[in-house]
C-alpha cells in the first residue's frame, strides 16, 4: 500500500533521475572529462563510463558527429548477433570498471581542437602505469566541445576508438 511518504519519495527520486539525465554537458574539455570521471568514480567506482556510448543520444551528446557516424557504420557492418567493435568501457579502459580517483591534464589546446590526458587510479591498483592513462582528442562543433577519439593502451598495446572502428569496417 502506498503511503503519502513513499509517494513523495518516489516522486523525488523520479525528479532527481530526470534532472540527472537532463544535466547539460559542461562547455570545455577539462570540465567535460571531470564530469564524466566524477560520475564514473561515484560509489565504489565500478559504474564505469559506458554511459557516454550506451545509445545514439548519449553518443551524440558526448562524441563528435564524425565519430558518431563512424561508430554507426561500424555497428551496421557487425554481423547480427556479434558484439560490436568496441567491447569494453573505453572511459575506464576495462571490462570491470575501477575508478578511485583521476587527474585531468590538458596537453594541447587550440581554438578548435584539444588533447587531454586522464590518469585513473583504481582501488585494486592492478594496472600497468601506461594503462592508467587515457588521451582524449576533442573538436569544437557548433560552439561545443565533442570527443573525437579516445586513446589508451591495454597490457602495453596501444588502442584508439577511431582506429578500432575503422578496422572493423575493413573486416
Q: Is residue 76 part of a domain?
A: yes
How many other C-beta atoms are found inside a 10 Å radius of the C-beta of residue 21?
A: 8
- Position with higher pLDDT, 127 vs 34: 34
Q: Is residue 15 part of a domain?
A: no
Q: Is residue 14 part of a domain?
A: no
As a whole-number percent, the residues of the chain with pLDDT over 70 amount to: 85
Task: Looking at the chain, list the stretches that DSSP marks H as alpha helix, in order from N- to C-terminal side.
Answer: 4-22, 29-40, 56-62, 65-77, 161-170
Q: Is residue 141 part of a domain?
A: yes
As a whole-number percent, the residues of the chain with pLDDT over 90 amount to: 67
The whole-angstrom distance between residue 51's C-alpha and the CA centroid of its chain comes to: 6
pLDDT of residue 29: 97
- Position with higher pLDDT, 94 vs 4: 94
Q: Is residue 3 part of a domain?
A: no
Distances (CA, A) of 82 to 26, 78, 156: 34, 7, 26
Count of domains for the chain: 1
Is the pLDDT reported for residue 12 higher than 90? no
Q: Is residue 12 part of a domain?
A: no
pLDDT of residue 25: 56
Q: Is residue 88 part of a domain?
A: yes
Q: Where are the beta strands (DSSP E) in 5-156?
A: 101-109, 113-121, 133-141, 144-154
Which strand ranges, in their side-by-side order, compose the sheet holding 101-109?
A: 101-109, 113-121, 133-141, 144-154, 157-160
Which CATH number is 62's domain given? Answer: 3.10.450
Structure confidence by residue, pLDDT tens digits, 121-139: 998 877 888 999 999 999 9
Q: In which element (H, E) is residue 30 found?
A: helix 29-40
Q: Is residue 10 part of a domain?
A: no
Asked if residues 38 and 52 have their Cβ atoms less than 8 Å apart, the reply is: no
How many other C-beta atoms are found inside a 10 Å radius of the C-beta of residue 45?
A: 21
Is the pLDDT reported for residue 151 higher than 50? yes
For residue 94, what are the β-bridge partners?
89
Residue-range definition of the domain harbouring residue 160: 23-170
pLDDT of residue 26: 61
Structure confidence by residue, pLDDT tens digits, 49-67: 999 999 999 999 999 999 9
Is the pLDDT reported for residue 86 higher than 60? yes
Amino acid at each position: 500500500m502506498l503511503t503519502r511518504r513513499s509517494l513523495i519519495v518516489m516522486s523525488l527520486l523520479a525528479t532527481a533521475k530526470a534532472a540527472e539525465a537532463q544535466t547539460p554537458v559542461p562547455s570545455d574539455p577539462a570540465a567535460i572529462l571531470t564530469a564524466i570521471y566524477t560520475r564514473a568514480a561515484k560509489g565504489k567506482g565500478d559504474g564505469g563510463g559506458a554511459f557516454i556510448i550506451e545509445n545514439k543520444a548519449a553518443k551524440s551528446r558526448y562524441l563528435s558527429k564524425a565519430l558518431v557516424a563512424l561508430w554507426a557504420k561500424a555497428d551496421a557492418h557487425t554481423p547480427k548477433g556479434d558484439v560490436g567493435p568496441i567491447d569494453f568501457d573505453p572511459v575506464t579502459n576495462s571490462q570491470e570498471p575501477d575508478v578511485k580517483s583521476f587527474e585531468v591534464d590538458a596537453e594541447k589546446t587550440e581554438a578548435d581542437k584539444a588533447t587531454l590526458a586522464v590518469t585513473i587510479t583504481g582501488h585494486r591498483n592492478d594496472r600497468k602505469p601506461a594503462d592508467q592513462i587515457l588521451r582524449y582528442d576533442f573538436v569544437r562543433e557548433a560552439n561545443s566541445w565533442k570527443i573525437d577519439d579516445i586513446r589508451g593502451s591495454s597490457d602495453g598495446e596501444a588502442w584508439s576508438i577511431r582506429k578500432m572502428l575503422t578496422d572493423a569496417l575493413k573486416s
